Every structure is written in C-alpha cells, then in structure tokens.
Amino acid sequence: MNFIQKIVPSTDWIKSYSKAWFKADLIAGLTLGVILIPQGMAYAMIAGLPPVYGLYTALFPSAIYAFFGTSRHIHVGTVALDSLFVASVVSLQAQEGTENFVLIALLLTFMVGVIQFAFGLLRLGFLVNFLARPVIIGFTSAAAIIIALNQVKHMTGANMLRGASLQELFSNILTGFDSVHLITILIGLVLIGISLLWKKIYPKFPSALILVFISLISAYFIGFESYGIELVGDIPSGLPEFTFHNFDIDLIIKLLPFAAALALLGFMEAISIGKVIEERHDYYRIRPNQESIALGLVNIISSFFSAYVSTASFSRSAINDQSGGKTPIVGIVSAFVVLSTILFLTPLFYYLPRVVLGVIIFLSVLRLIDLKAPKSLWKSTKKDFIMYAFTLLATLFIGIQAGLAVGIGISLLVLLYTISAPHMAVMGEVVGKKGVFRNVNRFEKLNIVPKVLIVRFDARLFYANIDYFRDKIAEQEHQRNGQVEYVVIDCSGINSVDATALHALRRLHLSYKKRGIKLIFVSLKGPVRDLFKSEGVYRQFGKEAFFINIGEALEFINNPNYERTNEIAFQSDV
C-alpha cells in the first residue's frame, strides 16, 4: 500500500471500480438518501437544532467519508446518541433555539474533529478500548430512554421543557400534562400503529418514509395547522454559507472534556459498526487509525458548513450492506439525494407535523435499549454487570455527560483491579497422570504434594501486582498451617518481570532462606530468563531454584541428588 492509498483510501477502490457495482451502489445510495431526509431532521431535533441542520449533516459527512474512510459500507451522518450528547453539552452554555446555541454546537463539532484527527495521527486508536462493552450498553440504553421520553413533548403537543435526567423528565411531563393536545396524541398513536404494522408486512422497507408521506399528504389536504397541530414550518432552501468559528479560549476550555468524550464515543461507534460489517466481506479491512483521521476530517470540514457532530450509523450502515452497496459511492449518491432536497424540495416539508419526527425518533431509539444485556452480564461476569448498572443509573439520574464519565471511571477501576489482582491458582497433580498439574479449585481427584506449595500466576509480574502476589502466597502458606518447605512458582503465565517485582522476589528469596523454605521457579519464558540472567538472579538464587517444569522440580525435591537431563531452564533464546 503506497502513501497516497494510506492517506486517501478511496484511490484503492476507485482503480478497481466496476460498472457492475454502480447499479448496486445507486440503489443503496438512493435508499439511504431518502431515509436520511426525515431521519436527519428528526435527529437535529434531538440535538436541539432546527431540522435543516440535520439535512446539512446528512449532506456533507457521507460525501467526505467516501474519500477518506477505510470501510466500504459504513454510512456517516447524524445518530441519536451523539445528537443527545450535543444537546446536553451545548445547553450548558446557551439557550436552545438561539443563534449562539447553533454556533457553539458547530464549534463543538470542530473540536471533536480535531481530537479525532489527532487520535489518528498519533495512533491513539487503542484509547477506545477503555470504553468497555458493558459501559457502552448501559450508556446507550439509558440515553435511549432519555431520548424516547423527550419525545413525549412532540407526541402529545404539550408545552414541556427538555430533560437531561429521569427525574427531570418526569417532573417536566407532570408539569406539562395539562397542556397536552388530544388530536396530536391521536395522530401519534395512529402513526405508531401504522409503523408497527408496516414493519410486520414489509420489514425491509423503512417505515419512516411511509409515515412522512402519509403525514405530508394528510397535513396538506386536511390542514393540520388549523387544528393546532405544530408543523415543522419553513426550512431554508439552498446550501449553507461557509461560517468561521468563534475560537473563544474560555469556551473551548469548557467544551474540551466533552469534546474529547464525544470524539472517543463517535470513534468507538464507527469502529464497532465497521468491524461487524467487515466480517461479512473478505475484500477489505478497516484501519482504526485511518478511521479516526477520516471521522476527524468529516467533522472538521463539515463544521464550517453548518453540519454538527457525525459518526457511523448502525441502522444506515446495515441498510447499505443489505441493499447490496459495494463502495463508498453509496455515500456520495445519498448526499446527492439530500442536496436535491435542500435545493428544491424543502418547501414540501413545511406541512410536516413535528409529531411525525417525534414518532420516528421514539421508535428508532427503542431498538437501542438492550433488555437482554442485564441478565447475560449477571450470568457471565459480575464485574461487567456492575459496570453496566453504574453507567445506566448514572446516565439516567445524573445526566448523559456524568453517565459516560462514570462509565469510563468504572472501566478504569475494573481494569486496574484486574491488573493488580490477576488470576492465581494453587496446583495439584492429577491422580493417575504423573506430571499433569491442575487448579485445585477447578478439578477433583488431585494429589496435594506434602510440604510443597505449587502456585501458578497468570499475568505479567510488576509493581502493580507484586504485593498481591506475595500476599496470596502467604495466605496459602497460612492455610497449610506452616507445613511448607518448598514454594514452587509456575511461571508459564508470566511474560515479563519489572524492576520492582524483581526486587520483591529477591527479598522473598532471602526471607524464605531465613525460614528454611526453598523458593523454586519453573517454566520460565525466554524474556524472563533473559532478565534473570542479566541481573544475576541465577547466580544469587542458585541452580537448584530453576527447573524446566513442575515435574522436574518435584523430582529434585524428592531426590536432592537428582541430576538434570539438560540445562534448558537457563537458556535465554526461547
């Protein structure tokens, strides 16, 4: 792969583009373009922006990603989760519905792009690993609930404020209950019924298009506005003007932590979606760091043309794949459909009732709530369930920014705990199978060798876990009531030892020597043998402290005159 292909991956597939692919790309692109129109306007409402900004975000990002992204099926644009994050962050700095709110949202988009671009250049894509899957499930489910409840305003026609937490939402719903509009509620229920029925009959065809079509026709001929039903109203036609950002240092500092979180979240969404779809195809591979660069360029460039934060959409990427799309030409075609709408068709959407967009959002985000996850996580790993539960509850009751922060914090704490307290097993010899040793807590019919404590440590031995290592050995000694004369360390799971751990092992050796206990190491890996050789550990501990395996160590313990058959325990080339 040459330098140009690395920077602009589209040069790779453009050279091999086949005419036979164009028909599939055209169909998929037209399908996505039509879906993007109502979806983009609906998601802009989640972000607290006028609907036209959803169209701008449906226009530029997908076309830009087509040139710089490495996935051939990802579709980039507005998504519900990031839209809610934008609204919750910007609302801390400006009143929704004001020009300042829009400008700050665009500045936030620019900052997200710069951070993602920097992540890619510095090859920091691994940072996404700190967003553990249980955290993402909990965060996504909670955010979906908040988004869905915020649509009660549009689905009932009530005078309600936006809410960022569960208690705030319920308070707003109760406060605005006396202002509900019965006809709006009726229309909402009818639209939900039509959508559910349509999905049952035609599951592959987007119901959102049908809802928009039926609503536009009904609104135009029935005159919904005269019945007090809120309409989308005027949507500016034509392309947005190039807009410079107001780089206010104080504002940038306030937005920076949220921009970093949003950049990481958007990157994680794109990589997760890209890898899922990539598994179905064998003719390309996504490159995480280039994906981060691509998303960065998408958000940086689009922010100057009134588009807010974009990332990969799972639903649209899946539709692209299912529709037979072959290349990122799909994104360019979908952008052309949106462009045609912005230039010529925006007057048609004047009559679109806002309740329709509320229903589209409500039904879309319900799919994000994973009802099976809690039971599955509880059965598999309690630590994963704790991460999920804390993130879910924090997002629901404190807010979306705090929820993500708590989730990342819990992930780091669990990671640190796992590193500092890795798996350690006490070993016994399987009855009837000489030389075969297993964990005494997992296997039955094991012989526990008298006066010999055999343990296996399954992690790198370094400053963060060396105290745990010593404490666990001491604990096992105590359980043997002091009847231990040999401590055999199976090092097959230890890849490296740092200076702190090495110093601790020397002290442990001296401590055991004073107590008449022999410390023995077996199954040392090459890098550890190299370290022990260079640091003089072999000379200090003596040859009788190192053996090729547990069996050979026990042979020596049972027969001090045992002669080794080879010196592989001291070789450092493996």
List of residues 6+ apart from 249 with CB closer than 8 A: none
Lookup: tokens for 4: 């140009």
Q: Which domains does the chain have, with CATH numbers?
A: 20-414 (no CATH), 424-570 (3.30.750.24)
Residue 437 corresponds to which tokens in the numbers above?
């040793």
574 has a pLDDT exceeding 50:
no
Q: State residue 228's pLDDT score.
A: 86
pTM reported for the whole predicted model? 0.80
pLDDT in tens, 475-510: 998 888 878 999 999 999 999 999 999 999 999 999
Q: What is the pLDDT of residues 14-64, one digit of tens each?
A: 887 888 889 889 988 998 888 889 889 999 999 999 999 999 999 999 999
pLDDT at residue 573 in the model:
44
Mean pLDDT estimate for the chain: 88
CB 517 within 8 Å of CB 485: yes
Residue 572 pLDDT greater than 50, yes or no:
no
Confidence grade of residue 103 (pLDDT, cut at 50, 70, 90):
very high
426 has a pLDDT exceeding 60:
yes
Percentage of the chain beyond pLDDT 70 is: 97
Closest CA to 9 of 91, 78, 64, 90: 64
Q: Is 484 exposed, middle or buried (0-12, 13-18, 19+ CB in 10 A)?
A: buried
How high is the pLDDT of residue 124? 83
* For residue 407, pLDDT beyond 70: yes
Residue-wise pLDDT tens digits, 320-338? 887 788 889 999 999 999 9
Instruction: Convert the pLDDT of each residue in 342-396 to its tens digit.
Output: 999 888 888 889 999 999 889 888 888 888 889 999 988 888 999 999 999 999 9
CB crowding 15-37: b at 16 or more within 10 Å, else e: eeeeeebeebbeebbbbbbbbbb
pLDDT at position 114 is 97
